[in-house]
Amino acid sequence: MTALILVPIVAPLVAAAFALAGGWRRATAVLTVLSAVAVLGSGIALGLQATPQPHLVLGGLLRVDALSVIMLIVIGAVGTLATWASIGYIDAELEHGHTDRRDARLYGALMPAFLAAMAIAVSANNIGLIWVAVEATTVVTAFLIGHRRTRTALEATWKYVVICSVGIAVAFLGTVLLYFAAQHAGADGANALNLDVLTACAAHLNPAVTRLAGGLLLIGYGAKVGLAPFHGWLADAHSQAPAPVSALMSGVLLSVAFSVLIRLRPVIDAAVGPGYLRAGLLTVGLTTVLIAAFLLTVVTDLKRMLAYSSMENMGLIAIAAAAGTKLAIAALLLHVLAHGIGKTVLFLAGGQLQSAHDSASIADITAVLSRSRVVGVSFAVGVVVLLGLPPFAMFASEVSIARSLANSGLAWVLGVTLLLMVVAFAALVANSRRMLLGAASEGAPRIAVPATVAAALVTGVVACIALGVTAGPLGGLFDAAAGQFGAN
């Protein structure tokens, strides 16, 4: 098991080293894809071996539990699609002069490094190491967002760095306060930030200090998730980043940051009671869904539309976490996986639309279904996934979230959330219909799709369908995570 938990960290780092040394070549690009496949394969293998109790390795530095395994599967699945599509994306960028060999080399090294940082964040047993890993994702993605080095890309990069760095600094203060509370509760200084130690002494933590720490951690990691009011970076970063990078950020990075809050909630609840973080999560969750729904009604840019959709889904996940029942936790984790794959398909398809039209304006994109069957069908499937329609998995996750809210005495939250989601869905459907349907203008060219991008899109669509038909062995993992982090 130790080897399996190290593979998701070591394999991408090896791929990053080869990419940095060898530059952008087909061999190094394929090695990066294989490293993402290794992350996915390790996650699946760990899931088959997982036990109900967390398993610590490397002297307690890393942990294997249902949550870490689920997140590794999401990282591997989204990473495989994004790195696979990156081959065609960067080749096209080089061909059209939008990038050079030096920047392609940097891109090739940073993508697997991004995967490794996220793998550490979800596998670490020490919340200090988790903080370092999440900060590392900020550094890596800052260079990826600014890949094209245009004025707007650099502006988006700076906004992302400033807001997320402030958030991470706030999370650091929360981490320090939690360490202080653990030490005063009798935890050994060297291990006071270990999750197993914090869980064991949670009931003895100073309530006042823990309450402040919990608020800071919610604000800090919430900024990284893109929750209101620190969501300002999200649309700019997603609109300017290369499409595969946007897919990784929206499809998995936001969820990786949120998984930290899921891990820490039982510790904070044991010290101050469940009502404190529930109120905070409900507040930021509802506010985020409200803002996202409004922005979706006025958006004119394709990638911004997808970013606001991600924002809406992160708000929904926060609301589910506020309910905190076993059903809610299982549902939100299924939602994380389904949203990750579906949103990856949408960003990869959207990237091809942007390249074909040299614009991301929704008004400039028409008749996609008649100009590219692969892109059009993939985009349509991605939209249906986000709408939560059967047979896709987000139908099951959203119905389960609704049930958990109703059973938790939060019927009013359910009502408000459903109303806002109807607004968001209507806007998403209207904009998507405008792009997908209609007759192509005279002389409008067919949309060229690189082979690797087409392969990634088809694979993503198949994965969406497969996950909707059956969660298979993943069902046991969701139940195990719910048992560990959900209340009765």
Task: Tally helices (H) and strands (E) across the chain.
Answer: 20, 2
Instruction: Say if CB 104 and CB 23 are below 8 A apart.
Output: yes
Taking only the tens place, the pLDDT of each residue in 276-291 is 999 999 999 999 999 9
Print the SS3 string covering 122-190. Answer: HHECEHHHHHHHHHHHHHHHHHHHCCCCCHHHHHHHHHHHHHHHHHHHHHHHHHHHHHHHHHHCCCCHH
- Both structure tokens of 282: 């409900």
pLDDT of residue 473: 67
Q: How many C-beta atoms lie closer than 10 Å to residue 367's C-beta?
A: 17
Give the HSE-up count for residue 481: Cα atoms under 13 Å, Cβ half-sphere: 27
CA dihedral 85, 91, 93, 96 (to 10 degrees): -140
pLDDT of residue 99: 84
- Look-up of token digits 């590219």: 372
pLDDT of residue 36: 98
d(CA 395, CA 415): 17
pLDDT of residue 446: 80
Tell me the CA distances in angstroms from 362 to 21, 233, 353, 436, one per residue in order.
40, 21, 10, 10
- Both structure tokens of 154: 């650099």
Which residues of the chain are modeled with pLDDT < 50? none
d(CA 189, CA 381): 51
Global pTM value: 0.96
Taking only the tens place, the pLDDT of each residue in 32-61 is 999 999 999 999 999 888 665 788 888 889
End-to-end CA distance of the chain: 30
- Look-up of token digits 């996940």: 317
- Both structure tokens of 162: 């400033």
Please name the amino acid found at residue 324. G
Please name the amino acid found at residue 300. T
> Where in the chain are the domains?
2-485
pLDDT of residue 223: 96
Tell me the CA distances in angstroms from 70 to 319, 334, 399, one per residue in order.
20, 9, 20
d(CA 399, CA 386): 13
pLDDT of residue 77: 98
Nearest to 141 by CA among 263, 224, 67: 224
